[in-house]
Amino acid sequence: MKRLITILLLTVCVLSASAIEKTILIGPKTIGKGWKDNIVIQPEQFQKAVEGDIMTLYTIPARGTAQAAFQSPKDWQPIAPQYAYFSVKAPVRVTLTGDLLAGLKQYGLCIGGHDYQIVRVTLMPATDMTETEVWKGSFTAASNWSRNLDLQRSVFQGIRMGDALCFHFSEVGADAAFKLADTKWEALRSDVNGTRLSGDKFLWTISDQMQLVKLQLAGADGVVTHLGGKDFTLNRITVIRYASELDPDESTAQHAPREYALHPGELFRGEKAFPADYSQNLRLTAAPFQELTTDYTLVASYRLMPDVEGPVLGFREQRGSWPDISGAKETQWRPLNGRTVVLPLDEQTLDKVKTKGLVISGRGFILNKVMVVKTPK
């Protein structure tokens, strides 16, 4: 009998161990104002992921309007239209389709946005997820936005914060778009307000208490939300609920660079890597330059990366295609030899940085500090 109990306990332990949420990025990483901050999760963090796995972004919003974005470091475009910007009031979960996973394994993932802090990013298997069908039928959205589907309160009974609504489509047109509106015909959230569709599924996480309330408060006709759009057919709506244990082993996780408090005169302090492929940039807003005069010089300090030939740094305008701060169309790359790099703030340069801010680009170094100092006379 004791042997049987032991076998059963071991079986339970094995089953429990399989249902884990693996951390791939450990914060904190502050994503500040103005869409200027980001972090790239390296491709190696996704190499063991399989199609259907679920990636979760855990955050602490600094403001109610905080938004994040998922972009490909290949071209800085959203990994899918619905991830161009989205709310981060609750954990954000993404089911990794074959197309998404291929890009993540090759290029990694850039996470940006404004006004929040990344706590961690995880991966978990789809087996840690339950999916319940709450609506089935056939609704075809006309090409001129003239048709809507009224969804009753009963569809969303029992839904909770953190759950995700999965909309299953067919016959998705090239210009297909999708909208969820409340009983006053106002969008439930910005990421379901005419969002372009790609693929046959759209996942929408309930991340705000007000969204939950709107999905449960019906009008006199029992309708809680209107679903509209163009050029698609809706076949099913399911509710996805997640349950997993966080794996305590974080030995293979990527760590966000250590964050430092800025000292007087500093515009950046930390450790930001600029790899050999020119994929990273530091964007500075115009705000810290407003009180400066031509008596100041900008100074960038760094350390060189080993095994990267030809390290360079460039200062660029934060507009359009980011031309060189000097006015040249092509970036004027400055070879790095370990010494600090300076940018005198003459009238022309000062006018540009006060208007749009500044971008620092390059390859082969880790940026430690950017500051402004009085120019020696």
The pLDDT tens digits of the residues spanning 269-290 come to 988 999 999 988 999 989 899 9
What pairing do the DSSP bridges indicate for beta strands 232-242 and 129-141?
antiparallel
Q: Residue 113 in contact with residue 85, Cβ under 8 Å?
A: yes
Least confident residue range of 19-23, 100-104, 290-294, 301-305: 19-23
Q: Work out the pLDDT band at 15, boundaries 50, 70, 90.
A: very low
Q: For the chain, which domains are there?
A: 22-127 (2.60.120), 129-242 (2.60.120), 266-374 (2.60.120)
22: closest CA among 248, 256, 254? 248
Q: Residue 230 in contact with residue 179, Cβ under 8 Å?
A: no
- Between 243 and 182, the more confident residue is 182
Strand partners, 131: 240
Query: For the whole model, what pTM was predicted?
Result: 0.61
Find the mean pLDDT for residues 66-80: 92
- Report d(CA 155, CA 360) in Å as an integer: 50
Residue 267, class by beta-carbon neighbours within 10 Å (0-12 exposed, 13-18 middle, 19+ buried)?
buried
- Report d(CA 335, CA 286) in Å as an integer: 26
- Between 353 and 62, the more confident residue is 353
Q: Which amino acid is at 87?
A: S
Predicted confidence at residue 19, as pLDDT, reads: 56
Q: Work out the pLDDT band at 230, boundaries 50, 70, 90.
A: very high
Predicted confidence at residue 10, as pLDDT, reads: 39
Q: Give the tens place of pLDDT for each residue, 44-57.
A: 999 999 998 999 99
Predicted confidence at residue 25, as pLDDT, reads: 96
Q: Give the tens place of pLDDT for each residue, 324-347.
A: 999 998 999 999 999 999 999 999
